[in-house]
Structure 1
């Protein structure tokens, strides 16, 4: 068989996109980095084009990053890739699979339906219900339905000053009509990224806070380090990612006094944490996995 022509959907110039493109090119001799902002779908001809290349004529597309930040527009971009799938292009991890994870609420509903332990969570459009959740939780994390690296998240503390709490809640709702609210947990400045390829567990890294910020993300100054989880934690993460049928993903897990809980399953998975924290060359492993999928055909 001839080498498959596999494009990389990502952010041109970004490290994770380019190292994945490097790995695929080294194995196939073909390199194409696709910026979805420049893609056009012609409904008359059925062509999905990027810089003169009809993506529907490729053998495969690996989605490393669909947009720099999550938004409803991210879902629109994934919808475009469904046309490529309909034309026979293998999209990794599957457009509909990723669609279910970009929206935080969709991910949460699936995890809860699978009885995966998560932080106490309330989802509402009611300011009154949100205020009651803040009072019940004592300290609550408000999360946009579309966000990565804790962007747009905030902590609202219970206060006897109801007007002040209402003001904070209302300010958040201005940009987030549907409010996603979780009890703030004491994570001791660490949470875990557990890496999976084709549903198989590869390893774990920890994100460790370097300041007094409430979250551990690298975006907020955290760093990666190695971590070896117990078997029960691996089993939990394995169960959490299973319903989504992802080709590559990371599961965000936190260790609490009451046992491990899952925050979310990633739509795309992190390469840098895997490499720096767990010593996993995710780009090379993912490239090998994808090419082997074509060999199976």
Structure 2
């Protein structure tokens, strides 16, 4: 046991949050799960308070989940953590790194600037331009800029202007991505501190167009070749995350990257790779703050 104070930022009661808190407690004897909705920033006093404790006095904070649902407000929660970081608290991953991934468009632009292959994508507020893109693609997935696990995503076929109108009514900016044949699976390629860890597959559990576990998919082992690992490594490199999963699909046009996860999937690592991500992340954090 050490005397380190490492807090876990996440959703109380959620499996991955509690698993990480358990791993930290097993290594340090200290346990604190921090719900960012219960944190108060006092700029005059230079304190970030949670349940009577100043998080700026901690040795480290590990961000497992910043919110149950992604939204622009999540960016504000990350801004709060920048004070703790300025006070010398090591935060994993750094708030500035995560901020670049919460907004799907920011992630996409960074990936394309790094010359990472992705599905053809159009982003617009104009419904006529959106219809033209769908007609060009034949079928497209409309994605909210802030979402996880395919929530809010809508499959729209060519000519369906009514569906575009409905999506536009809820999302001013339309992120439109060509639908590709994923052959019933996509991959989660996992990295710890920029180093490749393992890969798991998400296999569709039904005739749904997406493979997420939220939509009934299942995890399975997968062994990528060296070229695929290098592609995923290049995709995650610009973000500098402590722990992440790169979402990759194998198509008849070659491998493509959908996104880089701000937080990574612990359950996929466990069920698909047979590894304990919580323990591995905890070991990495302790090594970083005690070296």
Quickly name the TM-score band, shorter chain normalised: over 0.9
SS at the partner of 1:207? strand
Structure 1's consecutive aligned runs of 4 or more residues displaced over 3 angstroms after TM superposition are none
Structure 1 residue 168: deviation in Å? Answer: 1.0
Asked if the contact 1:4/1:294 (under 8 Å) is kept, the reply is no
Match of 2:241, SS state, is coil
Counterpart position of 1:125: 125
TM-score (normalizing by structure 1): 0.96
Residues 60-96 of structure 1: CA deviation (Å, up to 9, x unaligned): 1000000011111111111111111111111101000
Question: In the alignment, which residue of structure 2 is the partner of 1:97?
Answer: 97
Structure 1: how far apart are the matches of 2:22 and 2:266?
14
Matches of 2:274 and 2:257, distance apart in 1: 23
- Out of 165, 172, 178, the position equivalent to 2:173 is 178
Task: Say if 2:226 is the partner of 1:248.
Answer: no
Deviations 1:95-150 (A, max 9, x none): 00000011100000100000000000001111110000010000000000000000
Query: How far is 1:166 from its partner?
Result: 2.1
RMSD: 1.0
1:260 aligns with 2:285: no
> Is residue 189–residue 248 contact of structure 2 (8 Å, CA) maintained in 1?
yes
TM-score by length of 2: 0.98
Which residues of structure 1 form unaligned runs of 5+? Answer: 160-164
Alignment correspondent of 2:282? 287
Contact 2:2 2:29 in 1 (8 A): no
Quote the residue 2:225 is aligned against: 230
In structure 2, the gaps of 5 or more residues are: none
CA distance in 1 between counterparts of 2:263 and 2:26 reads 22
Q: How many angstroms does 1:167 deviate by? A: 1.8
The DSSP-based 3-state class of the residue aligned with 1:48 is: strand
Distance 1:111 1:189 in 2: 24
Question: Which residue is equivalent to 1:72?
Answer: 72
Q: How does 1:163-202 map to 2 (within 5 A)?
A: 165-202=160-197
For the residues of structure 2 that align with 1:2 and 1:286, how far apart are their CA atoms? 16
How many residue pairs get aligned? The number is 291
Residues 2 and 27 in structure 2, CA contact (< 8 A), matched pair in contact too: no
Could you tell me how far 1:2 is from its partner in structure 2?
A: 5.8
